[in-house]
Structure 1
């Protein structure tokens, strides 16, 4: 049976995605969810057939993913999914430890009630997904929660840096979170961060974020 591609759709009210962006999002999703595993060779023609998109948009998408460090081009062999490096993971987490505690401190001072409500809604949506062990959707909610905090910091440069760090670490998140206990632990760590933001307790929010990232570092280091 031929593989059925499920391509990302634009949200209501948004302009339709270009073919290049559709290919980029779907290839990236498959890399992050380990459908395309580290070290796999990616055949442009096969991907084009699977996604029912021309080879030019697929080629452009792979070029963009190469710039993001998710794939690499090996001369005379082709495009390969970038192998996972523990050193790279630790470097990303070092940068997160440097930036996200400062970011959440700003969010404590600057978040408006509507943003705090959105954070609460994100965490509320995670509860049934933890029970069903839907790692892909939990990964997306984790990204959305941290992105909402960075937006609440009112520092777009800092927000861009944090977004980039999270985008580069999605595969590590997916690999490391394969047991119920860790999923519940991360959910509680997120709740601790949000509770401190809601109380406007800057010191507690910064400490909760540090503990959350340190916990992730220890778990990922054991998993990889």
Structure 2
């Protein structure tokens, strides 16, 4: 990502100020949500600025925003670290997701437009193609864009802001499922998990197209539950370090 690259997922909350500081904060947020950093990593503000192609000053402010949001941790040595979760912390985030995201999907069935549906369907096609090409970063971004296009269609900015906050914590603590597929699962697990989640995506898209509120809620719950089960089987949680 560079400072000329726009945010790759649709903004779901209120108006965004088009400034360098805001753009820097947005790009750091996207990098964390997309699992570009490994939980437990320690980095300097300068390293983040270099990686995301920004200067030190806007990156320092962006980092402090992410610290306040719980997506980064300040360290005594001047570095920041990417949180590594315990199993209990992960389950708490899953519980919050299960309470918020199905509601957003319900609202989307009531407010989604034909244009929204075209965009969501395009995101899904792009995701399928990226997975077929084993394009890891593109897959992650397409996955994010698919969900946040739905949440934008819900036309509920406050709810969308809450979901973004949870995804920020979730993305920073644990790389998104597509990353897990490549890093910690067996080839067979990859195939089964991806195939089942792609079926769920198609079912969710179908529920939106038919404005089926009950089905949208049910499918979103299934998506999150499958994500939970997959992560519990594959992710090396940090329970020992916090006992």
Q: What runs of 5+ residues in structure 1 fail to find an aligned partner?
A: none
Q: CA deviation at 1:192?
A: 0.7
Which is greater in Rg? 1
Distance across 2 between alignment mates of 1:9 and 1:160:
22
CA RMSD of aligned residues (A): 2.8
Deviations 1:33-81 (A, max 9, x none): 6554322221234444555643222221211221222221122453222
Normalization by structure 1: what TM-score?
0.81
Matched, 1:153 2:149: no
Matched, 1:9 2:5: yes
Q: What runs of 5+ residues in structure 2 fail to find an aligned partner?
A: 8-15, 183-189, 236-243
SS at match of 2:104: helix
Contact 1:126 1:138 in 2 (8 A): yes
State the match for 1:89 in structure 2: 90
Distance across 2 between alignment mates of 1:52 and 1:149:
30
Matched, 1:207 2:207: no
State the match for 2:13 in structure 1: none
Contact 1:143 1:166 in 2 (8 A): no
Contact 2:3 2:53 in 1 (8 A): no
SS at match of 1:39: coil
Matched, 1:196 2:207: yes
Cα 1:32–1:118, aligned 2, differ >3 Å: closer, same or farther? closer
Normalization by structure 2: what TM-score?
0.76
Distance across 1 between alignment mates of 2:191 and 2:99:
28
Distance across 1 between alignment mates of 2:36 and 2:157:
32
State the match for 2:59 in structure 1: 58
State the match for 1:73 in structure 2: 74
Deviations 1:6-48 (A, max 9, x none): 445237xxx9964444544554555556554322221234444
Q: CA deviation at 1:119?
A: 1.1
Contact 2:28 2:52 in 1 (8 A): no
Instruction: Give the total of aligned pairs.
Output: 217
Matched, 1:219 2:230: yes
Q: 2:193 aligned to 169, 182, 188, which one? A: 182
State the match for 1:136 in structure 2: 137
